[in-house]
Amino acid sequence: MAPSGTSLSRPKVALVSTGGTIAMVGRHPYDWVDYAESGIVRDAAEVLHELADLLPDVAIEAVPFRRIGSTAIIVNDWLALAKLVARLAKRRDLAGIVITHGTATLEETAWMLALTVITPKPIVITGAQRPPNTAGSDAGPNLRAAILAAASPALSGCGVTVVMNNQIHEARSVTKLANHDLDAFQSPEYGPLGRVAADGAVVIRRRPVPLPPRRPWRLERLRSLPRVDIVYSYAGADGAAVKAMVAAGARGIVSAGLPPGRPANRERAELVNAARRGIAVVLASRAIKGIVEPAADAARDGFLNARDLSPPKARILLMLALASVRHRDGIQAILNQF
């Protein structure tokens, strides 16, 4: 069944471009690394022009947004994008929304949108590992697959998804595992939700666990988010980075701890000091798979637990939690819920 207000014969999808490799132009067919040097970043309408004829069964509306390299995106960009997507999701004529994005922070933007935009309509994020005009580019196939996925009723209720290399991933679990490979985006713990076949069919093999419909934060009221930093643990790490984060005004710190989620000893001492000062300290892990199990010493030291969220995604959830609650138990309840 098509979403309300959408033609059964030709669903409409909004295409929001934020820049990234998928919108860039290489200087020669094998410019897979230094293509940003060309200085060309195309908007959604330009990106769409080359693909529109290949999707005759989908109406596509280009929606302008900021042109941002994914290494430059900041929290205020996320909030502006989320508010734009939330407005688009309310339109009865749209079946779904596609966002093109640079791959460096694509999984983080997907998770931010999943946490802040509540709609049954498909919100699909895609990007490219190679610019559209270079040899072997995945830009066209990825954009085609994303538009087909967003137009499909099969993705209704699946929240925000990432479509890359014809695979459909949920925002919570997807991560970029390789620098340049076309299959860089994967969901190591649970696998993809499904795929977009060569003929355009959208095949869903499992559905994600839905996020809670009620959120402690309200998107329309968010103007900024509290500062939260990530400290990476390694052999011999001391507390210098933690001290710098505290001095910079961090209200939260996520520890990307040594697997299974433990900071190095000297680093831990400074994290204990931070927690005693009222800073929310969340234990996550450098490991790609598995949960950070609750530990007695972590609770004693006042630490919170990210469970199986990656450090970057735990940071985003912690920022939103700190914008809505202040007590340690309330923050942990949010970390447990999402």
Catalytic positions: 21
Pairing status of strand 228-232 against strand 252-257: parallel
Cα–Cα distance list, 324 to 81, 216, 318 (Å): 20, 6, 10
Q: Is 249 left (phi over 0), alpha (psi -120 to 50) or beta?
A: left
Token pair of 333 as six digits: 């309840």
Which residue bears the tokens 């200087």?
A: 27
Q: How far is CA 67 from CA 37, 98, 296, in A?
A: 15, 15, 47
User: What stretches of the chain show up as alpha helix (H) in DSSP?
Assistant: 44-49, 75-89, 106-116, 139-151, 240-247, 265-276, 296-300, 311-322, 328-337
Closest C-alpha among 119, 110, 102, 121 to residue 161: 110
320, 114 contact by CB (below 8 A): no
Q: Position 28: which residue type? A: H
Strand residues in 120-201 grouped as ranges (E): 123-126, 160-164, 167-170, 175-176, 185-186, 194-196
90-111 as b/e, with b when 16 or more CB fall inside 10 Å?
eeeebbbbbbbbbbbbbbbbbb
